Structure 1
Amino acid sequence: MRIGVLISGRGSNLKALIDACEEPGFRGRIALVISNRPGAAGLAVAEAAGIPTAVIDHKEFSTRETFDAELHRALTKAGVELVCNAGFMRILSDGFVEKWRDRQLNIHPSLLPAFKGLHVHQRALDAGVKITGCTVHFVRPEMDEGPIVAQAAVPVLPGDTAETLSQRVLEAEHKLYPLALKLVVEERARVVDENVRIDYDGATVGGPLFVPAG
């Protein structure tokens, strides 16, 4: 399966996906990495792995729709079959999301539906939760909505700051996103009536795969 990855920043989740795709027997490869920011460090990560890159600067487009149209054109030209958002800091138009319905994944640094949007880790600390984590889901037009493929739990420790919590959640993301991608490219995770059905360890289960805190 040909995968396109959308980034805006340093590309740490991109690196985790690249490493996963290089594992023997992995049934997907990254065909293109696109950044909406010309100076994104993740572009160098992709180039070091020999992966084609493109920059589509959103500031050069007058509307969200025209930017998304160029994004769609670049992905389809590269033969991309599945899109992975990996730190892509743009809200995509409804039209783009519908074109890639059930073919676009996103990772979010909370246990959705809790703490959608920005400043997630500080909000989790302010709320006093004991467990947070990350979520991989299929993208829908609403922000941080969509059928959930997998979630990983991360404990909130005494004395945590937003920065320390963010780092531990990011480490969980680097494990969870490749796992979720593997399930999707092997067609062992699929959307049925807006829920994900997963074939895992020889059984078909409803709902997301959950990785407990550890």
Structure 2
Amino acid sequence: MPITLVVIIRSIISFFILLVLVRLMGKQQVAQLTFFDYVVGITIGSIASTLSVQVNESLMSTLAGLATWAVLAILLAYLSMHNVKLRNLVDGEPTVVIENGKILENNLNQIRIPIEHLLSELRTMGVFNISDVQSALFEPGGKISVQKKFQKQPVTPGDLNISPQYDGLPINLIIDGVLLKDSLRSLNLTKAWLHHQLEKQNISDVNEVSLAQLDTKGNLYVDLQGDKSCYIIQTKD
């Protein structure tokens, strides 16, 4: 069998096995991965690439190695969910780096984070003044969590004893010119109703619409295909 065909076949096998294993290992976002998770992922990917192109390597032995790493990762994740000590050992614990506006240099040195990196992370959280911070922690995944001092926190409707109107998720009614009938049905609306709303802006064909969303306040957001205008149509006349 030609070597190119062998590589293609092994690549297809590797691709779908890796897809299955990744699905089994969970749906963590990259930002939520610990350093250990990242290393395990890189290793499994490396084994999969070996399975794909190293035709001199035994297919079954490489598959066994790939499955072993994946099973160990899944098993460790399962055990960590039910054992706090093991979870802290594998994932690590949050580290307090600022307390009452004071940078804790010893804790920063312990996790090997320079002050410049801390300041950069704070800026991404909208904090430019250390004195505004009550507490800041570096999470096991490397992200920073910040609690501002009480007097620096934004005012909420609850602070003003205001009960705002409920504002839930908008429902997509049209995507890329395709009418989503299930969405209309879930809202007890009809195609005739939607066409009537679109005609308020002289839109006669749903194919002209890139995205149409209906929010909980009855506002229909319509974005037309290409660089044409977008509209907000009041449906509750």
**TM-score using structure 1 length:** 0.21
The structure richer in strand per residue is 1
Q: Which fold has the larger relative contact order, with Cα–Cα distance below 8 Å and residues 6 or more apart in sequence? A: 1
**TM-score using structure 2 length:** 0.20
Q: Which of these two proteins has the greater Rg computed from alpha carbons? A: 2
The structure richer in helix per residue is 2
